[in-house]
């Protein structure tokens, strides 16, 4: 298994190109199942999760071609993917694939809406919480589907098609909003989704569905209206920039000090995180190229932050913020409200010398300036990258194990950081 070796203490200076968003690319690829015509996605990041979803879609009979680089393309340009779901040969998504990536469960909505049936494995456990799928299933039932659970599989049927309905989510869910949106796009009549997630990735999916001929209004607000259409056509769509990758490198720069431009980043996608970084002492400027993050000399201030659905502070940046706050001058409080078990990085950060104690869903971080490198590992993607950030500021060598977590969601991480002066390398093993 590969490892990442970091020797801490260098400031970051230069430009980091921001990739297309993993959490937008995945539902967009899944949306291809809704149409017999080709969906062309641009700016798709090269990530292990994207490759796995290619396999899962291939299993349903979807043909995917990835275009090679053209002369003059920048090395950081994302891939262009032509996805052709004309012939769906199998409506089953098997356990061995779905259990490896939860988002692949989301094929259930489009398969059911277009084919009238789907048999999709329940995703199973997860490192950051129990993560049930009840909201997805309730939404599909509201649209008229019959749902049974059989031998670990969700068996969903709608032989006469789905019918528009009012769907009220008890709690904000990104995935269940994606499911409802995709299923309702092909249902007969009108659907209203209330307490919908407002994440930019929902808006990106809705924008793509609009290009495919769907009738949707209100995406980005908590009430989405959809009028179903009998069929969707092909389209071309570019994946929006990754706000979590952006926030991660912004925090890395605040952590080490330096001056980094996050090229192609969009500040409007992560205002709450940028506000927290400003409060912590980073200087943030938005320019034509993207977002410029600076911290020169001055120390870091502690913050009090709670994660919340968009536009609140994202749970996917909670671990990275915690790493940053281990260096602040004073006590920070970071409360996790989305997932009940997303503190697996606390013990690993402690191995690097951080002082953090947990009070229920709140982590209390006593900042100090004495991180020291150590071997560490993490059980999920965002926790792993928080250890990289801590390692960049720690004295001496940090070895991050289980790099496959990082490869799920960060494209060319070690290259992007070493181009800005970090001493970081991958050790194959």
Would you name the residues annotated as active-site residues?
A: 126
How many residues line the site for ligand EPU (CB under 6 A)? 23
Q: What distance, in Å, lies between the first and last C-alpha atoms of the chain?
A: 5
Shortest reach from residue 309's CB to ligand EPU, in Å = 7
Q: Which of residues 25-54 bind ligand EPU (CB under 6 A)?
A: 26
- Per CB under 6 A, 118 contacts ligand EPU: no
Q: Are 162 and 189 in contact (CB under 8 A)?
A: no
Nearest CB to ligand EPU, comparing residues 14 and 312: 312
Place of tokens 């019959």: 146
Among 78, 175, 264, 290, which residue sits at the site for ligand EPU (rule: CB under 6 A)? 175
Nearest CB to ligand EPU, comparing residues 338 and 394: 338
Shortest reach from residue 57's CB to ligand EPU, in Å = 15
Residue 74 DSSP one-character state: -
How many whole angstroms separate alpha carbon 331 and alpha carbon 184?
47
Among 133, 209, 282, 291, which residue sits at the site for ligand EPU (rule: CB under 6 A)? 133
Shortest reach from residue 201's CB to ligand EPU, in Å = 6
Nearest CB to ligand EPU, comparing residues 29 and 274: 29
How many whole angstroms separate alpha carbon 63 and alpha carbon 38?
9
Q: Which stretch binds ligand EPU (CB under 6 A): 128-136, 219-227, 235-243, 273-281?
A: 128-136
Shortest reach from residue 11's CB to ligand EPU, in Å = 27
Assign residue 402 a region (left: φ > 0; alpha: ψ between -120 and 50; beta: otherwise): left
Instruction: Provide CB contacts within 8 A for 146, sequence distance 6+.
Output: 156, 157, 158
Q: Are 326 and 253 in contact (CB under 8 A)?
A: no
**Edge-to-edge, what's the strand order for the sheet holding 153-157?**
92-93, 117-121, 153-157, 146-150
How many whole angstroms separate alpha carbon 362 and alpha carbon 333?
7
Concatenate the DSSP letters of all residues of 147-181 into one string: EEEETTEEEEE-TT--B--EEE-SS--HHHHHHHH
Shortest reach from residue 90's CB to ligand EPU, in Å = 23
Shortest reach from residue 131's CB to ligand EPU, in Å = 4
Q: What binding mask, one character per residue, do residues 318-357 give for ligand EPU by CB under 6 A, x or -?
A: --------------------xx------------------
**How deeply is 150 buried, as exposed, middle or buried, from its count of CB atoms within 10 A (0-12, 13-18, 19+)?**
exposed
Q: What binding mask, one character per residue, do residues 154-173 give for ligand EPU by CB under 6 A, x or -?
A: -----------------x-x
Tell me which residue has its CB nearest to ligand EPU: 175
Residue 356 has a CB neighbour count (10 Å cut-off) of 20
Nearest CB to ligand EPU, comparing residues 26 and 193: 26
Among 58, 124, 132, 152, which residue sits at the site for ligand EPU (rule: CB under 6 A)? 132
Residue 298 has a CB neighbour count (10 Å cut-off) of 10
Nearest CB to ligand EPU, comparing residues 172 and 274: 172
Nearest CB to ligand EPU, comparing residues 280 and 338: 338
Place of tokens 């709450």: 272
**How deeply is 332 buried, as exposed, middle or buried, from its count of CB atoms within 10 A (0-12, 13-18, 19+)?**
buried
Among 103, 187, 325, 383, which residue sits at the site for ligand EPU (rule: CB under 6 A)? 103
Among 174, 214, 224, 319, which residue sits at the site for ligand EPU (rule: CB under 6 A)? 174
Helix 22-31 × helix 48-59 angle, to 10°: 10
Shortest reach from residue 286's CB to ligand EPU, in Å = 23
User: Which residues make up the interface to ligand EPU (CB under 6 A)?
Assistant: 23, 26, 102-103, 129, 131-136, 171, 173-176, 315-316, 338-339, 381-382, 409
């Amino acid at each position: 298994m590969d490892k990442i070796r970091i020797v801490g203490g260098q400031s970051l200076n230069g430009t980091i190109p921001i990739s297309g968003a993993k959490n937008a690319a995945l539902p967009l690829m899944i949306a291809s199942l809704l149409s017999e015509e080709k969906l062309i996605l641009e700016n798709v990041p090269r990530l292990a999760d994207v490759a796995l979803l290619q396999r899962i879609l291939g299993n349903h009979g979807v043909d995917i071609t990835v275009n090679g680089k053209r002369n003059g393309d920048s090395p950081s340009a994302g891939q262009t993917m032509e996805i052709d779901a004309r012939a769906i040969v199998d409506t089953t998504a098997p356990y061995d694939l779905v259990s490896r990536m939860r988002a692949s469960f989301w094929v259930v909505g489009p398969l059911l809406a277009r084919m009238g049936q789907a048999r999709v494995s329940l995703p199973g456990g997860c490192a950051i919480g129990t993560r049930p799928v009840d909201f997805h299933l309730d939404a599909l039932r509201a649209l008229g589907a019959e749902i049974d659970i059989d031998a670990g599989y969700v068996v969903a049927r709608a032989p006469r098609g789905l019918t528009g309905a009012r769907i009220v989510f008890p709690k904000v869910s990104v995935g269940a909003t994606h499911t409802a949106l995709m299923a309702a796009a092909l249902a007969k009549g009108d659907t209203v989704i209330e307490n919908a997630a407002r994440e930019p990735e929902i808006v990106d999916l809705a924008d793509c569905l609009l290009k495919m001929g769907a009738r949707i209004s209100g995406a980005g607000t908590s009430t989405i209206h959809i009028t179903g259409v009998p069929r969707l056509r092909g389209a071309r769509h570019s994946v929006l920039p990754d706000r979590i990758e952006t926030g991660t490198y912004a925090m890395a720069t605040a952590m080490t000090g330096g001056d980094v431009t996050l090229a192609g980043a969009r500040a409007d996608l992560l205002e709450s995180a940028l506000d927290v970084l400003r409060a912590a002492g980073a200087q943030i400027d938005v320019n034509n190229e993207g977002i410029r993050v600076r911290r020169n000399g001055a120390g870091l201030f502690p913050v009090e932050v709670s994660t919340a659905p968009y536009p609140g502070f994202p749970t996917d940046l909670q671990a990275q913020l915690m790493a940053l706050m281990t260096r602040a001058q004073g006590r920070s409080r970071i409360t996790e409200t989305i997932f009940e078990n997303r503190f697996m990085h606390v013990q690993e950060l402690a191995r690097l010398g951080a002082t953090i104690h947990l009070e229920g869903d709140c982590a209390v971080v006593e900042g100090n300036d004495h991180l020291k490198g150590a071997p560490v590992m993490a059980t999920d993607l965002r926790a792993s990258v928080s250890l990289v950030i801590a390692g960049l500021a720690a004295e001496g060598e940090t070895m991050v194990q289980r790099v496959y977590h990082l490869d799920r969601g960060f494209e060319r991480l070690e290259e992007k950081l070493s181009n800005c002066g970090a001493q970081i390398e991958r050790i194959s093993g």
